[in-house]
Amino acid sequence: MRPVLTAALALLLIVVTIPEIRGNDRSIERLESRYRNAKTMEAQFLERYYENGKQVRAEAGRAYFQRPGKMRWDYESPEKNTFVVDGKLVWFYSPTDHTVTRMPAKQSEDWRTPLAFLTSHMKLSRICATIQPDRQTVPLAAVNEVFACALQETAGAGGRGRVASLEISPEGELARVVVPNEGGVRLEFSFAAWKFNPPLDKSLFEFLPPSDAVIVDGALPEVPGMRQ
Query: Would you list the domain boundaries of the chain?
Result: 20-217
Phi then psi dihedrals of residue 188, to 5 deg:
-125, 130
Q: Residue 121: is its pLDDT beyond 80?
A: no
Q: What is the CATH number of domain 20-217?
A: 2.50.20.10
Rounded to an integer, what distance in angstroms lies between the CA atom of residue 119 and that of residue 35?
Answer: 10
- The closest of 136, 224, 228 to 180, measured between CA atoms, is 228
pLDDT in tens, 192-213: 999 999 999 999 999 999 998 9
Higher confidence at residue 14 or residue 180? 180
- One-letter amino acid at 50 equals Y
Rounded to an integer, what distance in angstroms lies between the CA atom of residue 131 and that of residue 102?
Answer: 34
In three-state secondary structure terms, 83 is strand
Higher confidence at residue 108 or residue 209? 209
Rounded to an integer, what distance in angstroms lies between the CA atom of residue 191 and that of residue 46?
Answer: 7
- The closest of 89, 57, 56, 62 to 74, measured between CA atoms, is 62
Reported as a pLDDT band with limits 50, 70 and 90, residue 7 is: very low
Q: Decide if 45 contacts 73 (C-beta within 8 A).
A: yes
User: What's the confidence (pLDDT) of residue 189?
Assistant: 92
pLDDT in tens, 15-54: 222 334 444 578 888 888 888 889 999 999 999 999 988 9
pLDDT in tens, 149-192: 888 765 444 435 688 899 999 999 999 999 887 788 888 999 99
Rounded to an integer, what distance in angstroms lies between the CA atom of residue 46 and that of residue 190?
Answer: 5
In three-state secondary structure terms, 188 is strand
